[in-house]
């Protein structure tokens, strides 16, 4: 039976053009399997007028409207607002992609820390709300490993809401050994806001949508700009919308300025004032929307350093400290399967991980930075697999694009683990790196051997979501 051309012979491929949906905390990606890029990269947020009117998705979100709020759909890679999510996806499928549901099945990626109940809700929603003939759930690290072509690896995903480290063995993500913290992109954004509000009081942080024209000035001179005439004189713009737009601003600052220093800036004998990063060559300027040019020196490095060393950087603003409780990265895995209750709960109630506690070389505070996270995950992996995994560490996610991040990570990992041969792999192409999980899903679905795995709607109707999850999506 001849299948599509050369693919069978060379790659074992069998294209059925299924849909790949990769929800993310910042962006979600939708597209056809077999493509090397998602057709649609859409923000995981929606706009809605305060009194519950029409909803806007995608590019239309960012326009200032009266009484208009922008709310997130996904938090921590899990859907928080199911209605909005369904609507957004419907928008993607029907309006944007204009696909026929029953012609292809859909793959949805999920993080490793999803619980049973969430997954149940997920597949229920998809089977019932949409008419896809079949569905599959894939863990994000598995997809990344497929994209990279490495069956045994350690996936370090530095995203917007979360940084996760997951070992993948034989293409299957190990859940118990995974770790995740919240010291990721959003964390840096918040630090930026904290920094600006505390140390640059004269900085005008009005976002682009407010500004009509500007003349450049140098901070701390006041901004010289002409404001745009907003509907209703700007009264109708909700603070939520404003916050949302400001987030974009911090995001821009982050992408433009932040750079990882070679080593920790704080701690030990290092004094921040002695650091070489105080020198002029490391200073960069950024022009804010209102026209003010601000020079940042060592702050750039401090901002990046905070994901490696969250302990040393505390927020001035208390609301952030609340937002980020100290996290040591350990995931609790209770209730992944509700059917089987652990018998010896009394005895082993304390430890959620059956492997011995991680042996960090560094001082164990309650907080793990990026390196410590990776290192402790490595230490938890079965010793037989450790060398193999350490040699195949994949760094992915938008946050990993910060300059010098991979170098710093590599150096620190190598010094902590002198016995292991550490090797980091990071895709060079920036857009590939942010969409790596989606691309992996696309690869996965193009394989002829994958098609036996689909869970059809028929099956779902017969067996029910619970059984499906426990039997098929283990």
Partner 1 sequence: MSARDILDVLNVQRDELPGLPSKKRKKLNSDSPMPRQTGMARELYNLLGPNTPPVHLGGVSGGGGGLGGLKDKMNLKPSPWTRLEFNPQQGNDSKGIKLYHWVKGSRELLEQEQATKEYLFAKFNTGVEIPELVGEELYEQYMQEFEEKEEEEIVQARLEAEARRKKEEERRKERAKNEEKKQAKEQDKDQSKDEQDKDQSKDEQSKGEQINDKNIEVSIDDAGAGADADADAEVDTDTGAADNTGGIVTVASTWTYEETKYLWDLCKAFELKWPIIHDRYTYDLGRTQEDLKEQFYRLSAKALDSHDAQSKALIDGLELYSKSKETERKQYLENLLKRTPAEIAEEESLVIEARRFELAAKKMLIERSHLLTLLDSPQSSQSILQYNSSQGLATLYNNLMIMDKNQKKKQGQLQKVQNSNFDPVPPAIPVAASSSFKKERVFQTPLQQHLAGVLKSNQSNNIKLETNSIQQLLMKRLTQKEEEAYGLHYHSNEKLNPGVLLRSAQKLPGLQQRQSVLKSVSTLLQELDVPTGGGTSWKPVMPTRKTMAKYDELIRSVVALLEMKKGKDRLEAEIRLIKSQKGLE
- Which of 342, 357, 366, 464 binds partner 1 (CB under 8 A)? It is 342
- 8 Å CB contact between 48 and 64: no
The one segment of 80-88, 251-259, 348-356, 394-402 that binds partner 1 by CB under 8 A: 348-356
Alpha carbon distance 349, 335 (integer Å) = 13
- Interactions with partner 1, residue window 436-455 (CB under 8 A): 448-449, 451-452, 454
String of contacts with partner 1 for each residue 63-102, x by CB under 8 A:
---------------------------------------x
How many CB atoms within 10 Å of residue 267? 11
Q: Would you give the DSSP letter of residue 237?
A: B
CB 392 within 8 A of CB 170: no
Of 340, 342, 260, the residue nearest 303 (C-alpha): 260
d(CA 16, CA 94): 19
**Closer to partner 1 by Cβ: residue 15 or 87:** 15
Stretch that binds partner 1, among 11-19, 47-55, 265-273, 432-440 (CB under 8 A): 11-19
Residues 173/157, Cβ–Cβ less than 8 Å:
no
252 binds partner 1 (CB under 8 A): no
Question: Radius of gyration of the chain from Cα atoms?
Answer: 24
Give the sign of the dihedral formed by CA 121, CA 124, CA 129, CA 133: positive
Near partner 1 by CB under 8 A, which window of 173-181, 232-240, 265-273, 402-410? 173-181
User: Of 375-404, which residues contact partner 1 (CB under 8 A)?
Assistant: 382-386
- Other beta carbons less than 10 A from residue 407's beta carbon: 12
Report the residue number, 225 or 444, with the smaller CB distance to partner 1.
444
Considering beta carbons, is residue 31 or 399 the nearer one to partner 1? 31
**Interacting residues with partner 1 between 279 and 318 (CB under 8 A):** none
Candidates 133, 234, 236, 297; binder of partner 1 (CB under 8 A) is 133
How many chain residues bind partner 1 (CB under 8 A)?
58
Q: Which of 175, 203, 240, 311 binds partner 1 (CB under 8 A)?
A: 175
Site membership for partner 1, residue 9 (CB under 8 A): no
151 binds partner 1, rule: CB under 8 A = no
CA-CA distance, 353 to 191, in Å (whole number)? 32
Question: Rounded CA gap, 181 and 416, in Å?
Answer: 20
- Residues in CB range of 473: below 8 A, 6 or more apart: 119, 123, 136, 137, 455
3 vs 218 by CB, closer to partner 1: 3
CA distance 326 to 311: 9
Is residue 354 close enough to count as binding partner 1 by CB under 8 A?
A: yes
Strands 153-158, 163-169: pairing kind: antiparallel
Q: Which is nearer to partner 1, 321 or 351 (CB)?
A: 351
Q: Does 134 contact partner 1 by CB under 8 A?
A: yes
Alpha carbon of residue 157 to chain centroid? 7
177 touching partner 1, by CB under 8 A: yes
Instruction: Work out how close the CB of 460 gets to partner 1 at its nearest, in angstroms, rounded to a whole number.
Output: 11
Starting at the edge strand found earlier in the chain, the sheet holding 55-56 runs 55-56, 45-49, 68-72
Nearer to partner 1, 13 or 159 (CB): 13
Question: For residue 395, what are the β-bridge partners?
Answer: 156
- Interacting stretch for partner 1, rule CB under 8 A, among 183-191, 225-233, 305-313, 335-343? 335-343
The length of the chain in residues reads: 474
CB of 387 to partner 1, least distance (A): 8
Interacting residues with partner 1 (CB under 8 A): 1-5, 8, 12, 14-17, 102-105, 133-134, 169-170, 172, 174-177, 333, 336-337, 340, 342-344, 347-348, 351-355, 359, 382-386, 417-420, 448-449, 451-452, 454, 456, 458-459, 462, 474
């Amino acid at each position: 039976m001849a299948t599509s051309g050369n693919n069978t012979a060379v790659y074992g491929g069998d294209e059925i053009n299924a849909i790949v949906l990769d929800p993310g905390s910042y962006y979600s990606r939708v597209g056809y399997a077999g493509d090397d890029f998602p057709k649609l990269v859409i923000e995981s947020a929606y706009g809605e007028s305060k009194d519950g009117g029409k909803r806007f998705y995608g590019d239309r979100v960012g326009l200032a409207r009266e009484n208009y709020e922008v709310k997130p759909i996904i938090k921590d890679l899990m859907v928080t607002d199911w209605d909005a999510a369904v609507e957004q996806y419907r928008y993607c499928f029907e309006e944007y992609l204009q696909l026929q549901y029953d012609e292809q099945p859909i793959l949805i990626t999920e993080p490793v820390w999803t619980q049973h109940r969430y997954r149940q809700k997920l597949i229920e929603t998809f089977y019932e709300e949409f008419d896809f003939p079949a569905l599959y759930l894939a863990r994000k690290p598995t997809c990344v490993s497929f994209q990279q072509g490495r069956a045994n690896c350690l996936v370090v995903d530095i995203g917007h809401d979360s940084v996760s480290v997951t070992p993948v063995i034989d293409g299957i993500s190990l859940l118990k050994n995974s770790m995740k913290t919240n010291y990721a992109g959003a964390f840096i954004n918040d630090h930026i806001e904290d920094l600006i509000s505390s140390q640059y009081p004269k900085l005008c942080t009005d976002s682009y949508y407010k500004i009509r024209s500007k003349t450049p000035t140098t901070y701390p001179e006041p901004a010289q700009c002409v404001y745009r005439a907003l509907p209703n004189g700007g009264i109708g713009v909700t603070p939520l919308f404003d916050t949302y737009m400001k987030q974009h601003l911090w995001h821009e600052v982050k992408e433009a300025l932040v750079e990882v220093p070679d080593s920790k800036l704080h701690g030990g004998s290092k004094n921040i004032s002695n650091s070489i990063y105080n020198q002029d060559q490391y200073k960069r300027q950024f022009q804010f929307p209102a026209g003010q040019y601000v020079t940042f020196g060592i702050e750039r490095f401090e901002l990046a350093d905070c994901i490696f060393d969250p302990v040393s950087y505390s927020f001035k603003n208390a609301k952030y400290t609340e937002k980020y409780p100290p996290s040591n990265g350990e995931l609790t895995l209770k209730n992944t399967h509700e059917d089987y209750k652990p018998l010896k709960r009394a005895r082993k109630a304390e430890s959620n991980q059956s492997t011995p506690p991680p042996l960090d070389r560094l001082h164990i505070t309650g907080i793990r930075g990026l390196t410590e996270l990776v290192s402790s995950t490595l230490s938890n992996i079965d010793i037989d697999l450790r060398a193999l995994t350490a040699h195949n560490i994949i760094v992915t996610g938008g946050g990993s694009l910060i300059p010098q991040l991979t170098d710093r990570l590599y150096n620190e990992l190598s010094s902590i683990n002198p016995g292991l041969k550490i090797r980091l792999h990071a895709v060079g192409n920036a857009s590939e790196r942010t969409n790596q999980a989606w691309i992996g899903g696309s690869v996965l679905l193009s394989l002829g051997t994958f098609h036996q795995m689909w869970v059809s709607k028929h099956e779902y109707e017969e067996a029910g979501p619970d059984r499906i999850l426990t039997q098929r999506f283990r």
